[in-house]
């Protein structure tokens, strides 16, 4: 066998390491036969051997074709955890009646979204900005305002309640607007699991 | 997402690798979808070995990376759409020959009807209008 073919087969075996044993054996056998047939057809110069390899495609490529059916063309994997994350975030505004619960749900939701492979980077950034960035910014601004006014003003608690209500509503509105696609998917998943 | 990314990279890689796939991603996916029926048609009523099939599909411009046909053949075998047999070759080791099974021929017949309807419909819609 041409040395280029032997080298290719070694690469293929490595690339196929993650596949089930029987599948790996079949692929290596098929490609070995392919090379043997090419050599049987005509004597191979180095250039012709390179052409055969080039037409074959890279080992990674063949292994990718052997992997289980692509997600895009089959039923999607279960996304229970991701739905849970979106669910947590969606109820954060209501859960703010009990602030510790709301904060906890918010952190859990953000963690799920940020660490999930399923959400695009943009949605991760939006979620983190809405649930971590926005409240932090508003709290920082509030703290500064409080520092400036606390000495003068006795009615401070009521304005701060109104402010936090406003923050919660703003969070809900911003989140639903930016992530409506995800919320819709969650609603659809809930509806289909209810059936 | 992850798998889609791999597909996307695979398509990009194909273009670099053979220079044959200067076509939109959609065409690549369409080609991938019909490939198994092209294979079944080639072995509908005669035995052919892997290399023979693969090079014909490649020369017809239906595959960019010949190697990716082998996993497809394996799947067809697993789904009992093809039968295989080992036959001696005049030069070199025995080869695995493929032939469409009864189920394979039935699947091909169904595809032929559907494909003909599909291409007619698409043709009617996308071909340039004479009156325009």
| Residue in this structure with the two tokens 């055969």, named with its chain if needed | A52
Whether residue A169 has pLDDT greater than 60: yes
Could you tell me if A132 and A92 are in contact, meaning their C-beta atoms sit under 8 angstroms apart? no
Asked if pLDDT for residue B83 goes beyond 80, the answer is: yes
DSSP annotation of B60 reads: T
Of B13, B18, B50, the CB nearest to A55: B18
Mean pLDDT score of chain A? 80
Instruction: Tell me how far the alpha carbon of residue B14 is from its chain's centroid.
Output: 16
Q: Determine the Cα–Cα distance for residues A74 and A68; give it in Å rounded to an integer.
A: 10
Q: Quick: pLDDT tens for A102-160.
A: 888 888 888 888 888 777 777 788 888 888 887 777 777 777 777 776 555 554 455 56
pLDDT for position A22: 92
Query: How far does B80 lie from chain A, in Å, by closest CA?
Result: 16
Mean pLDDT over residues A75-83, rounded?
67
Q: Tell me if chain B has a CB within 8 Å of the CB of A181.
A: no
> Ranked by mean pLDDT, which of A95-99, B39-43, B90-94 comes out on top?
B39-43
pLDDT at B120: 93
A117 interface with B at CB cutoff 8 Å: yes
What is the rounded (10 degree) CA torsion for B40, B45, B49, B52? -80
Query: Is B95 at the interface with chain A, CB within 8 A?
Result: yes
B93 with A33: Cβ contact below 8 A: yes
B92 with A39: Cβ contact below 8 A = yes
Q: What is the pLDDT of residue A94?
A: 75
Contact pairs from chain A to chain B, CB under 8 Å: 103
Number of H helices and E strands in chain A, helices first, is 10, 0
Tokens at residue A2, please?
Answer: 């041409």
Residue of A16, A24, A29, A55 to mutate for B, most B C-beta atoms under 10 A? A55
Check pLDDT > 80 for residue A185. Answer: no
Backbone angles phi, psi at A7, to 5 degrees: -65, -40
B82 touches chain A (CB under 8 A): no
CA angle B21, B50, B66 (to 5 degrees): 15
- Reference A50, options A63, A66, A38, A32; nearest CA is A38
Residue B3 token pair: 């798998």
From the CB of residue A173, how many other CB atoms can be counted at a distance below 10 Å?
12
Interface test with A, best of B1, B49, B70 (most A CBs within 10 A): B70
CA distance A6 to B84: 26
Residue reference for tokens 């602030």: A99
Q: Cβ–Cβ of A36/B54 closer than 8 Å?
A: no
Residue B125 has pLDDT above 60, yes or no: yes
Decide if A61 and B1 are in contact by the 8 Å CB cutoff. no
3-class state of residue A132 by DSSP = helix
Give the residue from B56, B67, B87 with the most A CB atoms within 10 Å of its CB, the best one to mutate. B67
Determine contact, residues A70/B28, Cβ cutoff 8 Å.
no
Determine the distance in angstroms separating the CA of A63 from the nearest CA of chain B, rounded to an integer.
Answer: 8
Q: Which of A62, A1, A154, A142 is nearest to B14 (CA)?
A: A62
> What is the ipTM for the molecules in this complex?
0.77
Helix-helix angle B50-59:B69-78, to 10 degrees? 120
Closest to A96 measured CA to CA, from A175, A167, A158, A179: A167
- Residue B37 corresponds to which tokens in the numbers above? 């029926």
User: Does the CB of B6 have a partner CB in chain A at under 8 Å?
Assistant: yes
């Amino acid at each position: 066998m041409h040395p280029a073919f032997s080298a290719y087969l070694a690469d293929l075996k490595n690339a196929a390491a993650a596949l089930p044993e029987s599948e790996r054996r079949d692929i290596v056998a098929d490609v070995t036969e392919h090379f043997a047939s090419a050599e049987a057809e005509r004597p191979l110069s180095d250039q012709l051997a390179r052409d055969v390899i080039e037409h074959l495609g890279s080992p990674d490529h063949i292994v990718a074709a052997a992997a289980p059916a692509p997600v895009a063309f089959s039923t999607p994997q279960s996304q229970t955890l991701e739905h849970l994350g979106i669910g947590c975030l969606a109820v954060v505004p209501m859960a703010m009646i009990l602030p510790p619960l709301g904060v906890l749900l918010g952190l859990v939701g953000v963690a799920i979204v940020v660490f999930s492979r399923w959400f695009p980077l943009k949605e991760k950034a939006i979620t983190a900005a809405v649930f971590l960035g926005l409240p932090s910014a508003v709290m920082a601004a509030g703290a500064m305002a409080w520092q400036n006014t606390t000495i003068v003003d006795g009615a401070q608690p009521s304005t701060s309640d109104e402010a936090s209500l406003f923050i919660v509503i703003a969070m809900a509105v911003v989140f639903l607007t930016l992530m409506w696609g995800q919320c819709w998917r969650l609603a659809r998943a809930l509806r289909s699991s209810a059936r | 997402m992850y798998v889609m990314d791999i597909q996307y990279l695979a398509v990009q890689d194909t273009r670099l690798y053979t220079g044959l796939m200067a076509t939109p991603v959609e065409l690549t996916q369409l080609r991938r979808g019909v490939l198994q029926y092209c294979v079944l048609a080639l072995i509908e009523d005669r035995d052919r070995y892997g290399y023979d099939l693969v090079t014909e599909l490649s020369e017809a411009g239906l595959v960019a990376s010949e190697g990716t046909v082998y996993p497809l053949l394996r799947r067809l075998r697993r789904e009992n759409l093809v039968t295989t047999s080992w036959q001696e070759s005049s030069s070199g080791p025995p080869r695995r020959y493929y032939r469409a099974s009864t189920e394979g021929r039935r699947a091909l017949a169904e595809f032929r009807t559907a494909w003909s309807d599909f291409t007619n419909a698409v043709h009617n819609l996308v071909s340039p209008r004479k009156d325009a």
